[in-house]
Structure 1
Amino acid sequence: MKAQATPRLYKEVAAKLLHEIQSGNYAIGARLPAERDLAVKYDVSRPVIREAIIALEVQGLVDVRVGSGVYVHSTTGQTSTPAGNVSAIELTEARLLIEAEVAALAASQITDEELAELESLVVQIEQENKTVGGKEEADAAFHLAIARATKNSALVENVERLWELRNTSREAALLHEKARHANIKPVVDEHTAILRAMQERDPAAARNAMRTHLLQVLDSLLFATEQRAVDEARRTVQAKRERYSQLTA
């Protein structure tokens, strides 16, 4: 008998929220409870609630209004269930498992020409970071170059697929966009550490450097969702200060 995969927790929460919306508990135009209240209600962490909201947002079911909250936009999205594509958190977890081992293998196989390519791409990453609205193309090229250095076409295909999902999965693309808006960009020092491990042809160091980098990516994605909440709170406080100033002027 084939084992059934357990749904990710955020998808379960998104399904419950969708059920409440479709049951009429939250009418079109209604604001959903605050993130902290939903976290208590469903007994999950706030990052899980954020992922669930993103799953609903990409389906057109809710509108996330900065400084105001999350509002019901429709009772039926692009599908009748929350988005089933890969979230940015899921995707980065998969990259963490796969690309760390890819880096280890690449370190033992990489050529001088491939090392020169990686070194050039690190410089390009730094240049893209200084460009407003940069597309992070050098970052993708860096990781794909490491995959090719393994000389294993199956691994290359897997890493290419992961990066394709990063750009085509609505949930993943949305959270990465939020990260860019929070001014989160590829960290040059982390890519430099991966490059140095490759130059030393040290598989263990390459694995650790890639793991460190992708763990930081995970932290950054969580920060991007948290930053939005922080920004909203700051705007609310500022609005209250301005109202108070008018009253006491």
Structure 2
Amino acid sequence: MRLYQEIGQQLRNAIQQGAYRAGDKLPAERDLAAQFSVSRSVVREALILLELEQCVEIRKGSGVYVLPPASVVPVVEPASDSVTCGVFELLQARQLLESEIAGFAALQATRNDIVELRKAVELERQQLSSGTIADDTDEHFHYLVAMATQNAALVAIVQESWKLRQRSGMWLNHHQDTSDFSARWAWFEDRMQILQAIQHRDAVAAKRAMWQHLENVKNKMLTQADISAADFDGYLFTSTPIDNNTTK
């Protein structure tokens, strides 16, 4: 169980035990972060989890409110265990979805979203400089971009796409970094471009930067792929060109 899930469970238990009643406003993010000794981004992830469960309602500009018990519904896990897709099929889907998400994030991001994205790219820079990188660093950045949209449904979609990747043996076999981290450094620069576009509220640039990042990932993986393998799907799913006529 991840940290945000643990915090979500503790908040859920507090609500069920009556510490917070229907209609009550939960403490501010910064207060919950101090209470649980975690970052505000972890608290935000936990609150979005509870919103997806219809346990709370997040009202932008107002706060987080507890919903009546009748509104709470069982959590149904997406059926991604039964879904199979090729490496390049998944990349195509992510390119279509996440480029739009990045563009929307540029319009919706708060100051705190920018701070958390900066922390994420700085952590990646430190890891790359030391010659190591955590497996979830890349995922965390994309998750934060989705969080910056302030839309729980988009966050859930991005989370599900990463679950598909993690359950794909084909992806794990293909996604191998070079020993000198050259690909990782290039992708780090891509993420810097995405961050800068979001920070400047440039939706067009953010969309293009995310599209190009995933295009770069695809091209690198094509050089590593065994095109004679039965599961190679690179020839089936070409990139969908971004709309160069898009305006701000």
For this structure pair, what is the TM-score category when the shorter chain's length is used for normalisation?
0.5 to 0.7
Instruction: Give how far 1:216 is off.
Output: 0.3
Mapped partners of 2:169, 2:180: distance in 1: 18
Distance 1:130 1:182 in 2: 11
Q: State the shift of 1:89 in Å.
A: 1.3
1:48-73 Cα offsets, whole Å, 9 max, x none, are xxxxxxxxxxxxxxxxxxxxxxxxxx
The Cα RMSD (Å) is 2.4
**Residues 131, 162 of structure 1: alpha-carbon distance in 2 compared, 3 angstrom cutoff:** farther
Listed one character per residue, the Cα deviations across residues 7-66 of structure 1 (whole Å, up to 9, x for unaligned) are xxxxxxxxxxxxxxxxxxxxxxxxxxxxxxxxxxxxxxxxxxxxxxxxxxxxxxxxxxxx
Say whether residues 1:203 and 2:203 are aligned partners.
yes
Match of 2:98 in 1: 99
Deviation at 1:203, TM superposition (A): 0.8
Aligned pairs (5 A) from 1:98-117: 98-117=97-116
Question: Secondary structure at 1:185's aligned position in 2?
Answer: helix
Superposed CA offset, 1:123-177 (max 9, x none) = 111223245553342221111001011111111111001111221211112111x
Is 1:172 paired with 2:171? yes
Match of 1:151 in 2: 150
1: distance between equivalents of 2:126 and 2:85? Answer: 30
Q: Pairwise mapping of residues 1-249 of structure 1 onto structure 2 (< 5 A)?
A: 85-132=84-131, 134-176=133-175, 178-179=176-177, 183=181, 184-185=183-184, 187-225=187-225
Give 1:86 deviation, angstroms.
2.1
Cα 1:138/1:85, change in 2 over 3 Å: same
Whole-angstrom CA distance in 1 between matches of 2:225 and 2:130:
23
Give the distance between the partners of 1:173 and 1:139, measured in 2 at CA: 14
Kindly indicate which of the two structures has a greater share of residues assigned to helix.
Answer: 1
> For the structure 1 residues 180 and 92, does the alpha-carbon distance in structure 2 shift closer, same or farther, using more than 3 Å as the test?
farther
Find the aligned partners of 1:182 and 1:134 in 2 and give their Cα distance. 12
Q: Alignment identity in percent?
A: 32
2: CA distance, partners of 1:144 / 1:98: 13
One-letter code aligned to 1:113: N
- Write the distance in 1 (CA, Å) between the matches of 2:89 and 2:178: 18
Instruction: Specify every segment of 5 or more residues in structure 2 that has no aligned partner in the other structure, as ranges.
Output: 1-82, 227-248
1:202 alignment partner AA = D
Post-superposition shift, 1:185?
A: 2.0
Offset at residue 179 of structure 1 (A)? 4.0
Q: State how many pairs are aligned.
A: 144
Instruction: Check the 8 A contact 1:104/1:207 in 2, yes or no.
Output: yes
* Aligned-partner Cα distance in 1 for 2:162–2:180: 21
TM-score of the two chains, using structure 2 as the length reference: 0.53
Q: Which has the larger radius of gyration?
A: 1
